[in-house]
Structure 1
Amino acid sequence: MGKKVFIAEKPSVANEFAKALKLNTKKHDGYLESDEAIVTWCVGHLVRLSYPEVYNESLKRWSLDTIPFMPKEYKYEVIDGVKKQFNIVKGLLTRDDVDTIYICTDSGREGEYIYRLVDQEAKVGADKQRKRVWIDSQTEEEIIRGIKEAKDWKEYDKLSDSAYLRAKEDYLMGINFSRVLSLKYGNSIANFLNEKYAVVSVGRVMTCVLGMIVKREREIREFVKTPFYRIIAKCGSEDGFEMEWKVNEKSFYAGLPVLYKDNGFLEEAEAKRFIEALKKNDPLEMTVSEISKKTEKKNPPLLYNLAEAQNDCSKIFKIAPNDTLKVIQELYEKKLVTYPRTDARVLSTAVAKEITKNLNGLKNNKAYGGYASKILGSGAYKGLEKTKYVNDKQITDHYAIIPTGVNSNSLTPGSLQEGVYNLIVKRFLSIFYPAAVYKKINITGCMECDRSLLKDGETPDNMSSEVFSTSVKVLESPGYLEIAGMPNDDKEGGQDMFSLLNGIRKNDKINIADIYEKMGETSPPKRYNSGSLILAMENAGQLIEDEELREQIKGSGIGTSATRAEIIDKLIRNKYISLNKKTQIISPKLMGEMIYDVVSASINQLLNPELTASWEKGLTMVAQGEISAEEYMQKLEGFVERRTNYVKGVNNQSKLRAYYQRAAANYK
């Protein structure tokens, strides 16, 4: 019987496999070997697509005559700097005494691609059996399960197809679009910036994200504040409570253009006239017309996927998305959490049925062990598979990020690792707790107003009915907030205000101490921070903060959980955008705005988030077998060819100078 080879994505993971298999290995250069098995590793990517000059030396020189460049057969090459490890791996995979290869690269599209390229370039024979290991954490138990349940690698061919297509897509767009735009517009950009030359670097995802950032910046610049005036009644006494006016169908102002939305005026003079009319009432009071009392429940949020974790860590710890990924990857390699590069926010049924393993492990956690013990003792984990936190259909590669239960007391107290780990633990434990329960009271009161005081030249004898309202909400039962963190519910009056309103009854007369206007202003859009940009990428260009809405359009993202942080970093390295490390606020640089204007005038489809998301969705459809790789490739090549040829034919360079000047006016 031949030897088995276990090939991981990097040395640290290979070591975990060797430990889990309890192999008595000897260390060699680039691999570990025992009597029955070999464990080796890649160092990330070992193979890449070859540049055009490998096909033909003349293609090294950029020319409009040689694009679009779309090879019929793609060439690949071993990456300089890792050739030694590639040759070691190649030798092991093709050894005569090896009959089975266990593919243990990361369980996802990119991990699949890393191994497939190695297998392809090493020319591994058909006589070797290949088995794909798919795991969600690096615990010994999960590694052994993954090996035991490993499937024939051919079952992942469609995932492999989508991986190859993703690489070819980025390659074709990057080479053709970057070359044609640089050749067409590089001189005009360089001349404007007084530089020798300028390269226009674009990409399927990168340029779309740049567009989101530039568009937001220009919306902020062009925003004009609109003042408005709300009408407030101070009720009871000077220390009483406030009620705010809102237009209704019986109001004098219903449908009139003097209003800002339905609760204010565009002109201060009109607000003051209204107040004077209201104050003519004697006595100055309103009648309670409606009281509603209800209980509201707030359920624990769904579990973390990478995007949600990156958004929260950006807000809480002020760290960039790549730093969040790095920390969670470190926690994963310490076996403390499950696989980080996931889009799912739910668990699988199989994991839910064995969730007591995770909970039992957390009993030893210094900060949250008591909560885990309470969950286990009360049986709150039972029936988890029937909740919204478990959904097999919402999982593609991996389920949500959760703690494995491995003892975490080795984490340095107060460290970033511990902080991020605690966020994941709190989110996980929250799903076993009940909803937070709020009590809410809403009071509506009516005042009459003489229309003749508001309408010049007419003295109708009827009165308008003007409505004021107020509400207060207080926490009745914390539920999961006991773990997640208690909100400050006293900031708007809290319990005292609730008690005051709770004593009011319908038809009561409320004395009014004063009526006055309160000025407000419309606010410009906010700049993206690194976390909110990740969320916007996940949601096809929309910054959707509401959790339920985010879930509704899930699957329409720009890029993937594994690539979004790197896209932001690449834009920073290209000096197209800047990131304030203290605040994590992102803003464009002049070069970024100029690239945006160039793309907008030439290949504006690259700026369309919905279109970019549709390409990503297409890759998912290939992976799921809904469309063929050939069909996808045909559409891709058609798009690249049409847009490249269009840019070759346009002559709008001189017109862009005005756009450059307009952008440059905002930079020193």
Structure 2
Amino acid sequence: MKKVIIAEKPSVAKNIADAFKIKTRRDGYFEGEEYLVTWAFGHLLQLYDAKDYDESMRSWRMEKFPFIPEDFKYKVKTDSHNRNVTDKGALKQINIIKGLIDRDDVDGIISATDFDREGQVISDELFIHFNEKKPIYRLLLNEWTPEEVKKGIEKIKPNTEMQNLQDAGIGRQLADWIIGINLTSVTTIKYKFNDDKILNIGRVLLPTLKIIYDRDKEIENFKATSYYKLNASFKTQNQEEYEGLYYENNSEKFEDKKYLDNISNIIKEEYAEIVSKETEKKNEYPPFLFNLSNLQGYVTSKYKGWTSDKVLKVAQSLYEKKFITYPRTGSIALEESLEGRARKVLETLKKGLPYENQVKFKKTKRVFDNSKVESHSAITPTYLKPSGLSKDEEIVYNAVKNRFIMQFMPIAQFEETKIVAKVFKEGVIGEFISKGKVQLVEGFRVVEKIETKDTILPMVNEKDKVLVIDSKSAKVTKKPPKKHTEKTLLRLMETCGKSFKEDNTEDSEEMMASILSGFSIGTPATRAETIKKLKDVGYIMSKGKSLTCTDLGKKVVEIFPVKELLDLEYTGRLEKTLSDIEKGKVKKEDFLKMIKEFTINGVNEIKNDTSALKYFKVDLKEGEESLGNCPECGNPIIEGDKGFGCSNWKNGCKFTIWKDDRYIASFGKKVSKEMVVLLLKNGKVGFRNLKSKKGTTFSAYFKLEKDAKTNYWNWKLEFI
């Protein structure tokens, strides 16, 4: 009897077939004595569109939302160019897979899709679609080298053990469908300020947009501040020159330039004495192994024209070619059980390197630490040495390879020196401080020839005299924060907007704990796709390596009323809940119940929103007269048969003053055109001879005030 192995892509199926030396290739699969190896093309199925459940949903009408099906169904995915047509290639492959499974000589199925949420769903949705009854097993691998494939097949487990992962994957699918379909539809209907453009709303899309919007606003509102500093140049007895910065009370910042100019004159061609010299040896460790976000950040910041999406595609290609391990990981360490494999990889890759004799395998907590691994270990090379790589593949492969090799090199060592010099003259209260580094051991830095801009200081000792050869004050203006790049954006998505103060945040334990908590925006696999989609839908654009909001992106953030979807904390909690479903801590059903309630409330909030009415500008038709501006949206108020209403009524502005208003009538008065003009111009209108319920007469102003809770405009009386 045989088993059907289903891989996620044809290239992976070929790797599996090669591992078992299966040479016979047929239409859509490989056939061996023990295994039939076939493949998907990613997702072969997709969730029904709204119109598949209800034909009337083809046209978007506000009253049809919220729309949440009782039972969600799958269909063969549609053609990428025409969504009304079934993808013929997908249908053909589904039939091939089904035909193989149904063969009489097949007694089981092995799912060999990627070991993550999406990979689990890619195969499971097929089994649900087939209503499959034959035994299903799961192959869980981090790389597709022949050795690992054979080991993995010996350790396959029943697919039923993957229920939590399936629940998380399908929970994510359904949540994004419910939120995306409903909120995208009602937002597009409600805010038609951009012609017929669809306004995409998503669980991950909006908070990512908000990060960029917030930075843009921070730059826009930045107020520059300036201060002055005093630099001096010194010459030692050995004729070596160096610089020092003037400090008073531990601060180098001064508001008065004249004060510094005076000190500059006092110390001219004077001698300063070295009053202290502190030297400290420090160790520098290599940066951690790459997870996907760090790899994307490294490559996009170092090479022009790279996007995080491109880095992922190239890394995926290297993974499918068996040259690196699974790239969609959030971990920066390896499982401790991988010690033997890592040793083998290192011994293979170090051969022929100019620094080969410095590369020595050792097991350290920086590299091997189960507590720093979530689902997948960090990205490393495999023991297969690549050949025939494209230039793009070389860039990503070398980054991964070098980062791996660095872990087994000597640590870099440098000497950090602080020199304090003082000019003993009246009027010179402070002292000049100079800081510099001297590298003692290059260590791992030799791997990438890391450039250093560190200041090298001359050899001086306490009590030495140094001559002031020049000094000048300079104005320093604090610069606004920089626009986000893909590197900084990925980091904030990974840690849900938390910023960390360490110089090298990649090596921060706090940072790693944040990443491993699952409290993030999206997953390593989806973040690049989110950034790309923000560009594609016109919410953000690139300026060199910088990212900035478009006018449309700004408008969406400013008008969208369901503020939870713009809140990083809320989105982080959703992602954390999906992570908890994977771990069996939360039920998929409870998560989806919460998502449905959130969506229903969100749809109603958008329907009742009036805050964006000001974005619509109405031009009056010929013959129509404006009586003033609408207090709700600023458009003209015009007279109708029964009242005076806003000309923006088609877009949802309901502001109206009725001619037969009962409240005004109760005082023995009528609403007139002249009254409305005065009310809109002055914010209130006065009346004399008003009749009270007791029959007395009085004078008062009437004005309209909006109730913040009900959004209704009510009359208020102000006695004259």
What TM-score do you get using the length of structure 1 for normalisation?
0.84
Matches within 5 A, 1:31-50: 31-50=29-48
Asked whether the equivalents of residues 277 and 417 of structure 2 are also in contact (C-alpha less than 8 Å), the reply is yes
Aligned partners of 2:397, 2:189: CA distance in 1, in Å? 48
> What is the deviation of 1:579?
2.7
Alpha carbons 2:233, 2:469 under 8 Å: kept: yes
| Contact kept in structure 1, 2:268 and 2:468, CA below 8 Å | no
Name the residue aligned to 2:259. 273
Q: Which of 455, 458, 466 pairs up with 2:430? A: 466
Higher helix fraction: Structure 1 or Structure 2?
Answer: 1
Query: Aligned pair count?
Result: 599
Is 2:150 aligned against 1:136?
A: no
* Superposed counterparts of 1:203-214, under 5 Å: 203-214=202-213
Question: Could you say what secondary structure the match of 1:295 adopts?
Answer: strand
Aligned to 1:445: 421
Structure-2 residue corresponding to 1:530: 486
Amino acid aligned to 1:436: A
Provide Cα deviations, 1:232-288, integer angstroms capped at 9, x if missing partner.
Answer: 233338973222123317xxxxxxxxxxxx32124xxx1222441574479945444
Counting only pairs closer than 5 Å after superposition, residues 166-315 of structure 1 correspond to structure 2 as 166-186=172-192, 189-190=193-194, 195=195, 197-236=196-235, 240-248=241-249, 262-266=251-255, 270-276=256-262, 279-280=265-266, 284-315=270-301
User: Would you say the 8 A contact 2:248–2:429 is kept in 1?
Assistant: no
Alpha-carbon shift at residue 374 of structure 1 (Å)? 4.9
Letter in 2 for 1:551: M
**What residue identity is the alignment partner of 1:323?**
K
Distance 1:594 1:95 in 2: 57
Equivalence for 2:126: 118
Which of 444, 447, 450 matches 1:483? 447
Q: Which residue of 2 aligns with 1:460?
A: none
The answer on whether the counterparts of 2:2 and 2:107 sit within 8 Å (CA) in structure 1 is: yes
Instruction: In structure 1, give the amino acid aligned to 2:523.
Output: T
Shift in Å, 1:546:
2.1
Q: Give the partner amino acid of 1:407.
A: K
- The residue type paired with residue 201 of structure 2 is V
Q: What amino acid is the match of 1:70? A: I
Measure the CA separation in 1 of the matches of 2:111 and 2:578: 22
Offset from partner CA, 1:355-375 (integer Å, 9 cap, x none): 2221232245xxx64545653
Distance 1:239 1:290, change over 3 A: closer
Deviates more, 1:105-114 or 1:318-327: 318-327
Query: 1:5, 1:102 within 8 Å by CA — same for their partners in 2?
Result: yes
Q: Does 1:381 align with 2:381?
A: no
1:316 paired residue among 297, 302, 314: 302
CA deviation after TM superposition for structure 1 residue 390, in Å? 1.1
Structure 2: segments with no counterpart, 5+ residues: 78-85, 618-632, 635-720
Paired AA for residue 404 in structure 2: F
* CA apart distance, 1:509: 4.7
SS at match of 2:443: coil
Query: Which residue number corresponds to residue 458 of structure 1?
Result: none
Matching residue's letter, 1:528? H
Aligned partner of residue 393 in structure 2, secondary structure:
helix
* 1:17 alignment counterpart: 16
- Report Cα offsets for 1:37-80 as digits up to 9, x if no partner: 21111111011111222222223332332222223321221212
Residue 321 (structure 2) aligned to one of 318, 334, 344: 334
Q: Is 1:434 aligned with 2:410?
A: yes
Map residues 240-639 of structure 1 onto 2, 5 A cutoff: 240-248=241-249, 262-266=251-255, 270-276=256-262, 279-280=265-266, 284-318=270-304, 319-363=306-350, 369-372=353-356, 374-375=358-359, 380-382=360-362, 384=363, 386-411=364-389, 415-446=391-422, 465-489=429-453, 492=455, 494=456, 498=457, 500=458, 502-505=459-462, 507-542=463-498, 546-549=505-508, 550-555=511-516, 556-580=519-543, 583-599=544-560, 602-639=561-598
Give distance in 2, aligned partners of 1:408 and 1:538. 31
Q: Sequence identity of aligned pairs in percent?
A: 30
Match of 1:257 in 2: none
What is the CA deviation profile of residues 151-176 of structure 1, one whole-angstrom value per residue up to 9, with x for unaligned ones? 11111110111101111111111112
Which one has a bigger Cα radius of gyration? Answer: 2
Whole-Å separation in 1 of the counterparts to 2:68 and 2:528? 29
- Native 8 Å contact 1:437 1:477 kept in 2: yes
| Letter of the structure 2 residue corresponding to residue 437 of structure 1 | Q
SS at match of 1:234: strand
Q: Is the 8 A contact 2:186 2:603 kept in 1?
A: yes
Which letter does structure 1 place at the counterpart of 2:380?
A: I
Q: Is the 8 A contact 2:268 2:470 kept in 1?
A: no
Report SS of the residue matched to 2:301. Answer: helix
Tell me the distance in 1 between the aligned counterparts of 2:576 and 2:339: 28
**Residue 508 (structure 1) shift:** 4.3
CA distance in 1, matches of 2:546, 2:492: 14
Is the contact between residue 23 and residue 30 of structure 2 (CA under 8 Å) also seen in structure 1? no
| 2:101 is equivalent to residue 109 of structure 1 | no
**After the TM superposition, which residues 153-164 of structure 1 pair with which residues of structure 2 at under 5 Å, given as runs?**
153-164=159-170
Question: Does the 8 A contact of 1:539 with 1:553 survive in 2?
Answer: yes
Contact 1:361–1:404 under 8 Å retained in 2: no
Alignment partners' CA distance in 1, 2:269 and 2:136: 88
Indicate the SS of the match to 1:355. helix
Do 2:121 and 2:166's aligned partners in 1 also have CA atoms closer than 8 Å? yes
Cα distance in 2 for partners of 1:444, 1:199 equals 63
CA distance in 2: counterparts of 1:90 and 1:245, whole angstroms: 78
Contact 1:360 1:373 in 2 (8 A): no
Question: SS of the counterpart of 2:36?
Answer: strand
* SS of residue matched to 1:484: coil
Cα–Cα, structure 1 residues 371 and 335, in superposed 2: closer, same or farther, change >3 Å? farther
Instruction: Tell me how far 1:429 sits from its aligned partner.
Output: 0.5
Alpha-carbon distance in structure 1 between the residues aligned to 2:536 and 2:246: 51
Q: Give distance in 2, aligned partners of 1:207 and 1:645.
A: 19
Higher relative contact order, structure no. (Cα contacts within 8 Å, ≥ 6 residues apart)? 1
Are positions 1:84 and 2:92 aligned together? yes
Residues of 2 paired with 1:335 and 1:21: CA distance?
15
Return the alpha-carbon distance in structure 2 between the equivalents of residues 205 and 314 of structure 1.
Answer: 21
1:99 is aligned to 107
Change (3 A) 1:373 1:39: farther
**1:478, 1:486 within 8 Å by CA — same for their partners in 2?**
no
- Cα deviations across residues 617-667 of structure 1 (Å, max 9, x unaligned)? 211111011222223223222222222222222212223469x99xxxxxx
